């Protein structure tokens, strides 16, 4: 047995699974490294207080935002003042692609972001330099390792009335809506809570502590990943949608079948 093994090694032949194992290890390592990098990049190492960053942000702001928000962010008829809006608000609005606003409407739409992360942070630094406002979240609250059960409870109490219990989103008045919360980056979830875009209330740290915000983010990431155990969710709208489905499709099928059976027997 031992001899046979030796021979195999000498002739330089590998176990047939060796290549597969090597590829698997390679993929795992790259995957892990990538996750590591993409997570840290959410709060890139850029000094928001350095004069160079602020100056770069001021230039970008002048070229892309000043037409609506004013040359020194004081606001115009086309856009609100951003004095005191804070870095978190800029990172949220620009990072989700809502800003720069494409057209005037009831609500800025989510679009592919038009600026790189560095450019976004430079503009955030500029706005933050004008007056104190909500700061960028600390990355330790964005890991998705909070208390999912507590997050679920907090979500149902504070968010579900607008965003739906399953975070599927819902309509509000005057053409506005609370969007679905799947696929939203943890940073942007946190920033939405501290800045309260549009009709959404601001959830200050006195209201919902940073740790509780982390729990809510963890809950949202949990429901995003968990498989739907009950089959098709029908948008998770609850008994009304499910009842309607059975009423229309189920009863419809029975009526159809009855008609078909009687037609055949005639
Ligand atoms: C076409 C006009 C327009 C342009 C261009 C524009 N904005 Fe806005 N912005 C608005 C309007 C209108 C609102 C308020 C409506 C809303 O929140 O959806 C707003 C809201 C915001 C808010 C939220 C303010 C708050 O108090 O919550 C931020 C932050 C912001 N804009 C940043 C920017 C930045 C940064 C740029 C440039 C990259 C930009 N905007 C370009 C019109 C514009
Ligand atoms: C009164 C209704 C209301 C409540 C309560 C509310 N929201 Fe919102 N939320 C909104 C509206 C409206 C928007 C869209 C704002 C916009 O597009 O400018 C929004 C946007 C968001 C977004 C951005 C989604 C995206 O696609 O970029 C997140 C994340 C979010 N809310 C999370 C929460 C969380 C978490 C809570 C509870 C702690 C909460 N919201 C409570 C109305 C609400």
Q: How far is the CA of 228 from the centre of ligand 2 (A)?
A: 23
- Average pLDDT of the chain? 85
The encoded tokens of residue 263 equal 């037609």
For range 88-99, the mean pLDDT? 96
What whole-number distance in Å separates Cα of residue 101 and Cα of residue 104?
Answer: 7
How high is the pLDDT of residue 40? 43
Q: Does residue 208 register a pLDDT over 50?
A: yes
For range 244-248, the mean pLDDT? 80
Q: Which atom of ligand 1 is nearest to the CA of 115?
A: 38
Q: Per-residue confidence at 224, pLDDT binned at 50, 70, 90?
A: confident
Q: Does residue 191 register a pLDDT over 80?
A: yes
Q: How far is the CA of 82 from the centre of ligand 1 (A)?
A: 8
Q: Which atom of ligand 2 is nearest to the CA of 180?
A: 26
State percent of the chain over pLDDT 70: 82
How high is the pLDDT of residue 253? 92
Q: Does residue 42 register a pLDDT over 50?
A: no
Give Cα separations from 225 to 35, 109, 187 (angstroms).
Answer: 16, 25, 18
Q: Does residue 34 register a pLDDT over 50?
A: yes
For 139, residues 6+ apart whose C-beta sits below 8 A from its C-beta are 39, 40, 42, 43
Closest protein CA for atom 13 of ligand 1:
79
Phi-psi region of 112 (alpha: psi -120 to 50; beta: other; left: phi over 0): beta
Q: Does residue 107 register a pLDDT over 80?
A: no
**Do residues 51 and 92 make contact, with C-beta atoms less than 8 angstroms apart?**
no
The encoded tokens of residue 156 equal 């149902």
């Amino acid at each position: 047995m031992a001899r046979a093994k030796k021979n195999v090694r000498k002739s330089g032949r590998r176990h047939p699974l060796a290549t597969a194992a090597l590829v698997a290890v390679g993929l795992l390592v790259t995957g892990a490294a990538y996750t590591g990098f993409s997570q840290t990049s959410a709060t890139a190492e850029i000094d928001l207080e350095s004069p160079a960053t602020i100056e770069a942000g001021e230039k970008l702001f002048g070229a892309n935002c000043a037409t609506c928000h004013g040359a020194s962010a004081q606001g115009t008829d086309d856009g609100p003042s951003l004095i005191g809006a804070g870095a978190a608000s800029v990172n949220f609005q620009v990072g989700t692609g809502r800003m720069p606003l494409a057209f005037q409407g009831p609500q800025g739409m989510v679009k592919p972001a038009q600026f790189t992360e560095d450019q976004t942070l430079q503009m955030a630094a500029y706005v933050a330099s004008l007056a104190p406002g909500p700061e960028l979240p600390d990355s330790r609250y964005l890991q998705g390792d909070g208390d999912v059960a507590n997050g679920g409870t907090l979500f149902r109490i504070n968010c579900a009335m607008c965003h739906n219990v399953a975070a599927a989103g819902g309509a509000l008045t005057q053409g506005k809506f609370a969007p679905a919360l799947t696929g939203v980056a943890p940073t942007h979830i946190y920033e939405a809570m501290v800045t309260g875009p549009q009709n959404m209330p601001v959830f200050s740290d006195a209201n919902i502590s940073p740790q509780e915000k982390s729990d809510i983010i963890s809950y949202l990431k949990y429901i995003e990943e968990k498989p739907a155990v009950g089959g098709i969710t029908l948008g998770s709208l609850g008994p009304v949608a499910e009842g309607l489905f059975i009423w229309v499709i189920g009863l419809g099928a029975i009526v159809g079948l009855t008609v078909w059976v009687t037609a055949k027997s005639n």
